[in-house]
Structure 1
Amino acid sequence: MPEPKFRVAICGGGIGGLCLAVALSKDPSIEVSVYEAAQRFSEIGAGVMIWEKTWRILEIMGLTERFSKIAHAPPDGSIEVGFDHRRSDQPEEGFRFSLAEMPYGCIRFHRADFLDVFINNLPAGIAHFNKRLSFYGRSLSDSAIALHFTDDTTATCDLLVGCDGIKSTVRGQMYTEQAERIRAEGGDWQSLLDCIEPAWSGKTTYRGLIPAEKLSSGHRALRAPMKYCGKGKHVVSYSISQGSIVNVVTFASELEKEGTPYEGPWVTECSQQELLDCFTNWEPDVEELLKCIDKPTRWGIHHLKPLPFYVTDAVALLGDAAHAMTPHLGAGAGQAIEDAFILSFLLTHPDTDRGTLNTALRAYEHARLQKATRVLKGSWNAAIMCEFNSPEYGDDYSRLGDAIRRQWDWVWESTPESDADEAIQWLARALKI
């Protein structure tokens, strides 16, 4: 076998890591390895949603035929509901105050099925399990990166991509090392350390799955993605698995606690009564949904502060490791896929080799950091608005509805192709080609 132009190690086998691995594996000149901490690939959570821009990336990758088979319905580009927003925090029937419609609408999947498409397109021999990264180091003899795992094994690569989630080990080491350098120079090192640990958003979520046949035939959750909104709380529901299951996610916000320590495990089981007590006296649609969830789970929703950089010295962050966000725009998986698309496009470019690798990574950061940060902030703002806590809009429904619909403008402001072209142009300027 010819010597690869470089070796890429992907730490983390979630959606972003596997999407990157599948994209890079199509280039025989790049050696790709995926190191997953668990015994097998798996995803926590029930539902995942994407929007038109992400669907276009999956088209470019040649995967949409497979994804169409597992969506709530085969996406065809027609105008569909993104989310139907209702005022629901009263015992009588609520009312719609905003309807967000768009091409493709909200494309929904069971998260495990979604991940399986990437797994099934991953070449044999790339995945390595029970490999939890402990730390990475530099080789004294060359530019290689040495990976040290908790099972006392090691591996080497030329590029390390941290796809290891919101509690990323790669991010922790990257930002600790950079803080040490800044401290030695007398700069603001503490702000970098503050980026390492996820922060509690002040939001508590209850999740559950409902077989569609348990709901009355006319229930709105069977027809469209719903946001049932109230002061400081809201309930999201949408169908997955070809419409056979309804995914329900509820949110209760304590904004004054944002950034404070979260007591207890992030995910735990709880009683149905706890869930019902949280949403007592909400409209009948919501009451019916919640009474169908026999064994809800409670989640403390965490997110990251916007990071100032994603790359240092042949190490890059991707997906939740770079921009873990609250789920209020349904954008976390899509943003990870956008990361993977742009990074793979740059790494497979003919002008990228060992000598230009760091420049390609800076092009990736230039292409993705501001865009992903905008979505991260927008996701937070989306919850503020749909829970009627926006200082600007409050419950002024006409202005609020327009503002909520604008929260998805980033989906159409550029295309994957134009984003990739911009990244390549930046690379060319940096290399003075």
Structure 2
Amino acid sequence: MGASGPNIAIVGAGIGGLTLALALRARGIDAEIHEQAPELREVGAAVALSANATRLLARLGLDEQLTAAGAEPTELIHRHWKDGRRIAAHPVGASYRERFGGPYLGVHRAAFQRILGDAWGSERLHLGTAVSGVTEDPTGAGPTGGDGGRVRLEFADGRSARADLAVGADGVHSAVRRRVTDEDVTVYSGTSGFRGLVPAEAMPSLPDPGAIQFWMGPGAHVLHYPVDSAGTVNFLAVVTGPQRWSEDTWRAEAAPGELLAAFDGWHPAIIEMLSGAPQSARWGLFGQAPLRRWSRGRAVLVGDAAHAMLPHHGQGANQTVEDAVTLADCLAGARAAGGSEAYDVALRRYERLRRVRTRQVQRSSWVTSGLLHLPDGPAAERRDRKLATVPADFGWIHAHDAERAAAAAVAS
């Protein structure tokens, strides 16, 4: 290892892995990315990026590419499932940027992945490299060239590699997490979702196609937002059930017509939207009980590997970006401090900064799930009145600056 800092092995080339690699490079730290897929690709239709992530991505020089690739919603609107009336509406656009210092963007996942991948390049990206295990390698040189502190990555094809630190950015079925903890913490929410992309012209009944909107109804809701300048709309249709999830993965095939049947009687715009794309697989929606630890030795977790969360605040990708920048800053601080123990301190600092923040978002998203599925009646009316204060109630999510929080912690 060179004197410039630790050599980082990042497992997973999704949003978290690539963002971390870029943030480390910006701070002068080497990284290698190991991705099991033979090519870069993202699962899912689109992603919503809020200011707590777009501010950080702009500092990595990606703001122009993201703005060109995505779409900025005009409003946040909550609607009644049947008659489509606007229950609550709040401006996004310029007023959101002014308040939070960054835009709110809807972006195709594939476009976001491509922007991150192009920014990183191919030289230190190892595709088709599935990590089967991570072990401590006490015979290796640590971050300061002394004994101990290195990890060994074992690959499915029999090869191996050493690094000073292994970062699990490999999602909910993380191989690195098996090194960090044996906790089985995923919790099925009792709801499942269907995803799709639909051109706006296929939905003539849709009001305000440029807005991010929640349609709320008994036992179900639909979230949608624009994702490009062509007017493509991404939707997530969530239904209560099945009662139990018995699949080994979070994805299962649904019977033909099952999605439309679940929204029988809903507003015509919703029927047009759900009819405008082939029925996707059904995705079980899982949350995660907070892990007791995010690191062990020289292995540490980011993103869904550490804190899978329900999608109802649109924060999965955003919290992952926050993790990546926070970890990069903590490691940069350790490099400046010098000494092998500095990296132990850096991992503890990272975990302390991120655990409380992500727990708060996880908990809030779980509570929101049930509120979106209330039947018409007094409880729904109380919820509807509360929607008038959404910007004040959830501004803490969007206003947070992970980089400044990390810098303050490193300086303390």
TM-score normalised by L of structure 2:
0.88
Cα contact 2:194–2:237 (8 A) shared by 1: yes
Q: 1:302 to 1:112 in 2, by over 3 A?
A: same
Q: Secondary structure at the match of 2:190?
A: strand
Kindly state the Cα deviation for residue 261 of structure 1 after the two structures are TM-superposed: 3.9
1:353 Cα deviation from its structure 2 partner: 5.3
1:334 aligns with 2:318: yes
Cα distance, 1:362 vs. partner?
0.8
Kept after mapping to 2: 8 A contact 1:203/1:301: yes
How far apart are 1:271 and its partner, in Å?
A: 5.5
User: Which residue number in structure 1 is paired with residue 9 of structure 2?
Assistant: 9
**2:108 paired with 1:121:** no
Whether 2:386 is the aligned partner of 1:415: answer no
Please give the alpha-carbon distance, in whole angstroms, between the structure 1 residues aligned to 2:203 and 2:131: 44
Q: Residues 221, 164 of structure 1: CA spacing in aligned structure 2 closer, same or farther, 3 A cutoff?
A: farther
Does residue 241 of structure 1 match 2:228? yes
Q: Does 1:208 align with 2:205?
A: no
Q: Equivalences for 1:178-217 in 2 at 5 Å?
A: 193-195=183-185, 198-216=186-204
Q: Secondary structure at the match of 1:25?
A: helix
Counterparts in 2 of 1:230 and 1:303: CA distance versus 1, 3 Å? same
1:406–1:152 CA distance, 2 compared to 1 (3 A): farther
- SS of 2:30's equivalent in the other structure is strand
**Offset of residue 243 of structure 1:** 3.8
Deviations 1:95-132 (A, max 9, x none): 22222434047411000101111101114421111221
Aligned amino acid, residue 344 of structure 1:
A
**Separation in 2 of the partners of 1:421 and 1:294?**
46
The residue type paired with residue 120 of structure 2 is L
Q: Does the Cα contact within 8 Å between 1:385 and 1:404 map onto a contact in 2?
A: no
CA shift in 2, pair 1:340/1:353, >3 Å: farther
Mapped to 2, the partners of 1:376 and 1:392 lie a distance apart of 26
- Whole-angstrom distance in 1 between the partners of 2:80 and 2:236: 16
C-alpha contact 1:206 1:296 (8 A) present in aligned 2? yes
Report how far residue 16 of structure 1 moved.
Answer: 0.6
Distance in 2 (alpha carbons) for counterparts of 1:351 and 1:207:
46
1:373-419 CA distance string (max 9 Å, x none): 11111111222222228999543245331465455222345333431
Corresponding position of 2:138:
140
SS of structure 1 residue aligned to 2:337: coil
Q: Deviations over 1:318-357 (max 9, x none)?
A: 0010111111111100000000111111212322554411
Q: In structure 2, what is the Cα distance between the partners aligned to 1:280 and 1:159?
A: 52
CA pair 263-194 structure 1, distance change in 2 beyond 3 A: closer
Aligned to 1:230: 217
CA contact (8 A) 1:48 1:108 kept: yes
Task: Give CA-to-partner distance per residue, 1:280-327, whole Å, 9 cap, x none.
Answer: 011122122122223433212222212222122221110010111111
Q: Which amino acid in the other structure matches residue 395 of structure 1?
A: E
Q: Is the 8 A contact 1:9 1:160 kept in 2?
A: yes
Residue 303 of structure 1 is matched in structure 2 by 287
Q: Which residue of the other structure, out of 275, 292, 311, is the alignment partner of 2:276?
A: 292
Distance 1:390 1:123 in 2: 52
Cα–Cα, structure 1 residues 153 and 48, in superposed 2: closer, same or farther, change >3 Å? same
CA separation of 1:276 and 1:395: change in aligned 2, threshold 3 A: same
> Closer, same or farther in 2 for the Cα pair 1:94/1:214, shift >3 Å?
closer
Partner residue, 1:372: 358
The Cα RMSD (Å) is 2.5
Aligned counterpart, 1:58: 57
* Contact 1:221–1:246, Cα closer than 8 Å, also in 2: no
Matched ranges for 1:23-422 at <5 A: 23-28=23-28, 30-73=29-72, 80-81=74-75, 83-88=76-81, 90=82, 93-102=83-92, 103-104=96-97, 106-141=104-139, 142-176=148-182, 193-195=183-185, 198-216=186-204, 219-220=206-207, 222-254=209-241, 257=243, 260-263=244-247, 266-270=250-254, 273-349=257-333, 350-351=336-337, 354-388=340-374, 394-402=380-388, 404-406=390-392, 408-422=394-408
Counterpart CA distance in 2 for 1:295 and 1:409 is: 34
Distance 1:391 1:167 in 2: 40
CA distance in 1, matches of 2:376, 2:175: 35
Q: How far apart, in 2, do the equivalents of 1:140 and 1:131 lie?
A: 24
SS at match of 1:227: strand
Q: Distance in 2 between matches of 1:209 and 1:309?
A: 37
- 2:359 alignment partner, SS class: helix
- 2:180–2:294 CA contact under 8 A, matched in 1: no
Identity %: 29
Report the more deviating stretch, 291-300 or 402-411.
402-411
Quick check: 2:27–2:332 contact (8 Å CA) kept in 1?
A: yes
- Match of 2:43, SS state, is coil
Q: 1:286 and 1:173 mapped to 2: Cα distance?
A: 44
Distance 1:137 1:2 in 2: 22
- Measure the CA separation in 2 of the matches of 1:412 and 1:3: 37
The residue aligned with 1:182 is: none
| Residues 1:360 and 1:326: Cα distance change in structure 2 (over 3 Å) | same
3-state SS of paired residue (2:191): strand
The letter of the residue matching 1:322 is A
In the TM superposition, residue 254 of structure 1 has moved relative to its aligned partner by: 3.7
Structure 1 gaps, min length 5? 177-192, 429-433
Aligned counterparts of 1:399 and 1:351: Cα–Cα separation in 2 = 51
Find the aligned partners of 1:388 and 1:311 in 2 and give their Cα distance. 39
Aligned-partner Cα distance in 2 for 1:290–1:355: 54
The letter of the residue matching 2:136 is R
8 Å Cα contact 1:97/1:397 also seen in 2: no
Larger mean CA deviation between 100-109 and 233-242 belongs to: 100-109
